[in-house]
Amino acid sequence: MSEILLQMRNVTKRFPGVVALKNVNLELHQQEILGICGENGAGKSTLMKVLSGSYGASEYEGELLIHGTPVRFTDVHDAQAQGIEMVYQEMNMMLDASIAENLFVGNLPQRRGFVDYKKLYADSAKLLAQVHLELDPRMPVRPLNSGQMQLLSLMRAVAKKPKILVLDEPTTALTDQEVDVLMEILAQLRQSGVSCLYISHKLEELYRICDRALVLRDGQTINSYPISQVSRKQLIEDMVGRKVENMYPKETHPLGREVLRVEHLTVPHPNIQGKNIIEDITFSLREGEILGIGGLVGAGRSEALGAIFGQYTHGVCKQVFRDGKPVRIDSPRDAIENGIGFITEERKRNGIIWMLSIRENMAVANLKKLSRRIFMLPRLEKKQVSEQMDVLRVKAPSMETKLVQLSGGNQQKVILGKWLMSCPQILFVDEPTKGIDVGTKADFYQIMSDLTKQGVSIVMVSSDMPELIAMSDRVLVFAGGRITAELHRDRDEITDTAIMAAAIQS
Amino acid sequence: MKKLNKGVSALASKPEMGVVLPLIILLAVIGCVNSNFFAPANLIDILRSTSYTFIIAAPLTLLMISGGMDLSIAAATALGCVVCAWGIADFHIGIIPSVLLALAAGAVVGLIKAFLVVKLDLPAFIITLGLTKIINSFILVTTDGIAVSNLNNNAFKQLGQGKLGSVYWTIIIAAVIGICMHILLRSTRFGREVAACGGNRETAKLAGINVARVRFTVEILVSVFAALCGVCMCSRFYSGQPAAGSGTELTIMASVIIGGTSMMGGTGSILGSFLGCLLLAVINNGLVLMRVSTNWQNMIFGIILVISLFIDKYRRSKTGGGL
């Protein structure tokens, strides 16, 4: 086997209250593509931030060695000086600068103190030809689609002639042909002596391009092996296999009639034009049921909920039936009037109003209920808010406390309170416990259980596998815009491996 | 001592505090230097000039709380002033129809502005700057820059020059508007919707609030009241002045900000905006009484604007307001 290029030894990274990486070990050989796999939150991105210098050497424990020599990075520049380049999942392009300027940002070719545009455009054209993009390097980046941009950000890293290239889910925005191009480039790079770290959920890709695979789970190195010697089943088990602690107070009870049916839901992709992220799906929800929705990040689960709720309407096709009757939902207002509530994934972006108080935040979805004609009813408002604060055990000095002063868990409780005040019959929850401490998590599950007992139905999108398995009566798995599995609790079908297997089908 | 501290921090948590302190200091200084300052007639004069800016600042507070801004208020004032004069002097349609015509002109400005800013989602700063230029130029073209006089309607003088007892009608009008806006903001559903839109537009939409309708309403409201201010000026000057209110857009916005309304939207108060307008009037008046050149006026106002933002930042750090 070829020489070892990079070693990461016993890397431990702590965040306040959480250990994100525990004694992780990684070896990368010369001319090798190492696949890094694991569930969402297994520590892959954190590990790559350690490698890329985003976390300086003083912020974690452990050692980095390149060619056997220990190195200490204080920032990204140090890592780049050692030939480590990242291709990020999120595209960070200067949209109105030219393709060439984007490709060579930070190392524009110069001649006598001025930018050498002739060389810049010639070099850019060469890079574009390598990825089969027939584009003028002088044109701005804005009109390009996300797949083209993703290839550009790859070539931007390649242009710096790295020794180690790190790719984080590089294919999420790519079409099949573009994936082929990517694979071709990676194979060429390997040939020319570059090593790659390739983070992906997609097993197909790992088997296609990688030499070895490293599995992370809960911040620990679980296994590493040549990919040709490991079965898919083994790989999935290593990724998900963990014992589920009993923090889930799930009680099964007989389910009632159908309260919601969604037929032929089609949702356009938010970033890629002409592509649908959800393609003609149909499902139903029964009274008192928790319907879990599993799948990978980017499978369109949040978009599906948003489209049903009326958050997105552009290009959305759907037929919605409430209690068997067809209803029109063209805006969140319509959804609320039909007894639906929606706790979104991104609390900061569209959940809380940080400069307003708990009272004002909870009232915001219930203004009609808390007012007579045009005037608010302050006494009713205070009574209802304080009831919710008691039930949900919101920890705050008073209901006038601003949301910005609360912890993430308490903010999430306020959002929950806002929707509970509207007495919904159906609650959509999207990653309800993301970034929330364990204690509050347990509170949340208890509340969800209690709600279903009272006949409320819940649709829960979750990437937290134990939560999905423990709480759901039924799980739908989304992949490639479709429902690839429907798993029932009463048939004991809801398992890690069944969900994972369906999620990586494409 | 503890009690005092508690009292101080309770006071400090009020968003209007940024303006109260400078105002008190200023009143004390000017009052000491010139005893005429506290003469009733002088105080009425200060309130009179406050009323003109406050008629615009009160609805503007709502707009800024909803996350908006408007540079076209001064232009809408001039338009209201000139249109009202046309109604009375040129169209001979009488007082009330002329006033309504002027308000309608304001509403049209507001509608165009709302369409561009809310519906087409264009940046308010540039759009309202452009609208200002268009309206000002329209007025100059149609009036040749000459005031519309020969109103020949003495009854109309009452609005801007008349008094109830010793209080000018415009002060009463401004007070009524202020109280209505305060109630609208604090006690109605609409007020809550305005704050939610400015606090987090996405959250407001997901909570079932018709964000576009709320924003449309406040945009139009501001322009109509700016035109009303123009009507009052028309009566006060007894002519339609093409330059009525010109240059006041930024000072009125600054008065609102001094009064504790967040530039990012979400929070603010009508009382604070009143105090901001009052501060401006006190500075002007005080300088005249102290025989200081009015050229100093903007410098002092600017310094207080900067200081009030310091106080605001301190207040936020005390209440953990972030940003």
Looking up residue B236, the CATH number of its domain turns out to be 1.10.3470
The model's confidence at residue A143, banded by pLDDT at 50, 70 and 90, is: confident
In the prediction, which pLDDT does B316 show?
65
Q: In this predicted model, which residue has the larger pLDDT, A261 or A433?
A: A261
Does residue B119 form part of some domain? yes
Q: Which tens digits make up the pLDDT trace of A276-322?
A: 999 999 999 999 999 999 988 778 999 999 999 999 999 999 999 99
Determine the distance from the C-alpha atom of residue A27 to the mean position of all C-alpha atoms in its chain, rounded to a whole number: 27
Flag whether B322 is in a domain: no
Q: What is the least distance, in Å, from the CA of B60 to any CA of chain A?
A: 20
Which residues in chain B are closer than 8 Å to A352, comparing Cβ atoms? 200, 203
Q: Is B3 domain-assigned? A: no
**B187 contacts in chain A (CB < 8 Å):** 375-376, 378
Give the best residue of A313, A340, A364, A419 to mutate against chain B (max B CB count within 10 A). Answer: A364
| CA dist., res. B260 & res. B20, Å (int) | 10
Is B287 a residue whose pLDDT tops 80? yes
Q: Does A380 touch chain B (CB under 8 A)?
A: no
Is beta strand A84-87 parallel, antiparallel or unpaired with respect to A164-168?
parallel
Tell me which residue in B195, B202, B205 faces A360 most closely, judged by beta carbons. Answer: B195
Cβ separation A360–B192 shorter than 8 A: yes
Residue B146: which pLDDT band, with cuts at 50, 70 and 90? Answer: very high
Residues 294-333 of A with CB under 8 A from B: 309, 311, 331-333
Pick from A139, A226, A134, A123: nearest CA to A181: A134
CB-CB neighbours of A45 under 10 Å: 18
A404 and B204 within 8 Å at the Cβ level: the answer is no
> What pLDDT, on the 0 to 100 scale, is given for residue B322?
39
- A311 contacts B205? CB cut-off 8 A: yes
- Residues A35-58: pLDDT tens digits? 998 876 678 888 988 999 988 888
Mean pLDDT of all residues in A245-260: 81
Model confidence band, residue A239 (pLDDT cutoffs 50, 70, 90): confident
Helix (H, G, I), strand (E, B) or coil at A441: helix
Residue B4 included in any domain: no
What residue of B is the nearest CA neighbor of A371? B189
Q: What is the pLDDT of residue B320?
A: 45
Q: What Cα–Cα distance (Å) separates residue A217 from each residue in A34, A39, A503?
A: 16, 7, 17
The alpha carbon of residue A309 is apart from the nearest alpha carbon of chain B, in Å, by 9
**Average of per-residue pLDDT across A331-339:** 96
pTM for the model: 0.77
Whether pLDDT at B2 is above 60: no
Nearest beta carbon to residue A350 from set B189, B202, B262: B202
Angle formed by the axes of helices B270-289 and B17-33, to 10°? 20
Q: Which two tokens stand for residue A384?
A: 């209802």
Asked if residue B1 is part of any domain, the answer here is: no
Look at residue B315 in the predicted model and tell me its pLDDT: 66
Point out the least confidently predicted range of A82-91, A362-371, B165-174.
Answer: A82-91
The residue in chain B having the minimum alpha-carbon distance to the alpha carbon of residue A401 is B319
Report pLDDT for B309: 77
- Put simply, the answer to whether A367 touches B189 (Cβ < 8 Å) is yes
**pLDDT tens for each residue of A205-237:** 899 999 999 999 888 899 899 999 988 878 877
Residues B100, A108: Cα–Cα separation, whole Å? 62
Indicate the range of A148-152, A285-289, B66-70 predicted with least confidence: A148-152
Nearest by CB: A355 against B193, B199, B209: B199
For chain B, give the percent of residues with pLDDT over 90. Answer: 71
- Put simply, the answer to whether A355 touches B321 (Cβ < 8 Å) is yes
Q: Tell me the pLDDT band of A386, cut-offs 50, 70 and 90.
A: very high
**N residues, chain B:** 323
| Facing residue for B188 by CB, picked from A353, A375, A418 | A375
Q: What is the pLDDT of residue A40?
A: 64
- Average pLDDT of every residue of chain B: 90
Angle, helices B249-258 vs B40-65, to 10°: value is 90
Cα three-residue angle A469-A473-A475, rounded to 5 degrees:
60
Q: Is B192 on the interface with A (CB under 8 A)?
A: yes
Tell me which CATH code domain A4-93+141-240 carries: 3.40.50.300
The pLDDT score that the predictor gives to residue B321 is 43
Q: Is A375 on the interface with B (CB under 8 A)?
A: yes
Average pLDDT estimate for A126-150: 86
Contacts of A424 in chain B (CB under 8 A): none
Predicted local confidence at residue A244, as pLDDT? 39
Please report whether residue B321 resides in a domain: no
User: Looking at the complex, does the CB of residue A407 fall below 8 Å from at least one CB of chain B?
Assistant: no
Of B204, B264, B267, the CB nearest to A364: B204
- In this prediction, residues B156-172 reach a mean pLDDT of 93
* Range of the structural domain that residue B91 is part of: 16-315
- Per-residue pLDDT averaged across B226-230, rounded? 98
Query: Does B62 score more than 90 pLDDT?
Result: yes
Does the CB of A367 have a partner CB in chain B at under 8 Å?
Answer: yes
**Averaged pLDDT score across all residues of chain A:** 89
Chain A residue numbers touching B203 (CB-CB < 8 A): 350-353, 364
**Residue A368 touches chain B, beta carbons under 8 Å:** yes
Name the B residues in 201-220 with CB < 8 Å from any A CB. Answer: 202-210
pLDDT for A349 beyond 60: yes
Q: Quick check: A374 and B189 CB within 8 A?
A: yes
pLDDT per position as a tens digit, A155-189: 999 988 899 999 988 887 777 788 888 999 999 99
Comparing alpha-carbon positions, the chain B residue that sits nearest to A368 is B189
* Listed ranges A468-472, B15-19, B284-288; the one with the highest mean pLDDT: A468-472
Please check whether residue A137 is in contact with residue A98, taking contact to mean a CB–CB distance below 8 angstroms.
yes
Q: What is the pLDDT of residue A461?
A: 94
Residue B320 with chain A: CB contacts under 8 Å: 402, 404-405
Is there a contact between B187 and A352 if contact means CB atoms under 8 Å apart? no
Provide the shortest C-alpha distance from residue A349 to chain B (in Å). 7
Matching fold, domains A4-93+141-240 and A257-339+425-506: yes
Cβ(A309)–Cβ(A461) below 8 Å: no
Which has more confidence, A194 or B9?
A194
CA distance to partner chain A, nearest, from residue B107 (Å): 23
Out of A89-93, A133-137, A372-376, give the one with best mean pLDDT.
A372-376
Is A398 part of the contact surface with chain B (CB cutoff 8 Å)?
A: no
Domain residue ranges of chain A, discontinuous segments joined by +: 4-93+141-240, 257-339+425-506, 348-423
A400 to chain B: closest CA residue: B319
pLDDT bucket at A387, cuts 50 / 70 / 90: very high
Q: What is the mean pLDDT of residues A62-89?
A: 89
Contact A371 B189 (CB under 8 A): yes
Q: Which residues from chain A sit within 8 angstroms of residue B204, using beta carbons?
A: 353, 364
Chain A CB contacts of B192 under 8 Å are: 360, 363-364, 367, 376
Neighboring chain A residues of B64 at a CB cutoff of 8 Å: none
Decide if A353 and B196 are in contact by the 8 Å CB cutoff. Answer: yes
Instruction: Report the percentage of chain B scoring pLDDT > 70.
Output: 92
Looking at the structure of chain B, the number of domains it has is 1
Three-state secondary structure along chain B? CHHHHHHHHHHHCCCCHHHHHHHHHHHHHHHHHCHHHHCHHHHHHHHHHHHHHHHHHHHHHHHHHCCCCCCCHHHHHHHHHHHHHHHHHHCCCCHHHHHHHHHHHHHHHHHHHHHHHHHCCCCHHHHHHHHHHHHHHHHHHHHCCCCECCCCCHHHHHHHHCEECCEEHHHHHHHHHHHHHHHHHHHEHHHHHHHHHHHCHHHHHHCCCCHHHHHHHHHHHHHHHHHHHHHHHHHHHCCECCCCCCCCHHHHHHHHHHCCCCCCCCCCCHHHHHHHHHHHHHHHHHHHHCCCCHHHHHHHHHHHHHHHHHHHHHHHHHHCCCC
For B183, which residue in chain A has the nearest alpha carbon? A375
Check CB contact under 8 Å for A353 and B203: yes
* Residue A254 scores a pLDDT above 70: yes
Which of A96-110, A128-142, B302-316 has the least mean pLDDT? B302-316
CATH number of A257-339+425-506: 3.40.50.300
Q: Does the distance separating the beta carbons of A375 and B205 come in below 8 Å? A: no
**Residue B308 belongs to a domain:** yes
Sign of the CA dihedral with A28 first, then A32, A38, and A44 last: positive
Q: What is the DSSP letter of A472?
A: -
